[in-house]
Structure 1
Amino acid sequence: MAKQDVAVAMRWSDMDVNAHVNNVVLMRYLEEARIRFMIDLFGVHTGPDAILVAHQEMDYIKPLLYSVEPLRMSVWITRLGRSGFDIGYEIWDESGDLCALAEVTLVTIHAETQRPCRIPEDMRAALDPALGERVPLRRRVKGE
């Protein structure tokens, strides 16, 4: 399964004074795609644990311009650890040009202790088929 395409609607108000989609909005698009992706993988999470964002990184490749057509995002799991996992993203514009690459680290937190906890086995089983390659972020490619 690896990569899954997710369509995310854009809003006119997503643009900034420079007439392209604001960088903060791109992070919101990651959230929207992540929620849809995770619901497709294992439904609405209702367990005693929370899944929290621990780290986000994005490379902006090309300005994203507003379009009435939804943008296409490719989403997949790039790392599956003991208590956390990474999700990779590609953001494509309506012309099919790559506009951004991103990777987000999520950590499973036990509700009572507020400490990282092991990813539940049923969740791990749902995440594993979506495991693919790491995102070639500039810092990683350049070895920084």
Structure 2
Amino acid sequence: MRYLYRCPLRWADMDAYGHVNNAVFLRYLEEARIDFLRRPDKQFQQGSVVARHEIDYKRQLVHRHEPVDIELWVTEVKAASFTIAYEVKDPDQIYVRASTVVVPFDFERQRPRRITEEEREFLREYQDDEEEAVAA
């Protein structure tokens, strides 16, 4: 299953060339990831940190008033990290494909922590084996 986040575009996201700046896509991914992980009915309320991002820019996204869709799903779950894949897209085109390695973090103790069984169950709901098809 995939999670859908409708990301609003802001005037300030645009660069001098009239399209959404490439660096802004990191913020879009962050917004989608936080929306996914921090829902009141779900886990990961303790926090997490990003260990790695990979972004593949496919085409320019021109500023507009309508939001852009960000689909995300889990591709890998390990003992103390998991990977989220994303597509920033409209129904007829993909602007960005990306992935993020996320590490659950205990901010009180200032160290990474293992994924709990409840968190693992939640992540498995969104685990999608279509990663290879998406990467093509």
TM range (shorter): 0.7 to 0.9
Structure 1 vs Structure 2 CA RMSD: 2.4
Moved more, 53-62 or 104-113: 104-113
**TM-score, with length taken from structure 2:** 0.87
- Alignment gaps of 5+ in structure 1: none
Cα separation, 2, equivalents of 1:59 and 1:114: 32
In the alignment of these two chains, the number of paired residues is 136
* Residue 94 of structure 2 corresponds to residue 98 of structure 1: yes
| Structure 1 residues 61-95: Cα deviation after superposition (integer angstroms, max 9, x where no partner) | 001111111001111111101000011100014x6
Cα separation, 2, equivalents of 1:12 and 1:78: 32
* Residue 61 of structure 2 corresponds to residue 64 of structure 1: yes
Shift of 1:122: 1.2
**TM-score, with length taken from structure 1:** 0.83
Contact 1:41 1:127 survives alignment (8 Å): no
Q: Which runs of 4+ in 1 moved over 4 A?
A: none
Shift of 1:55: 0.3
Cα separation, 1, equivalents of 2:54 and 2:131: 10
Identity of aligned residues (%): 34
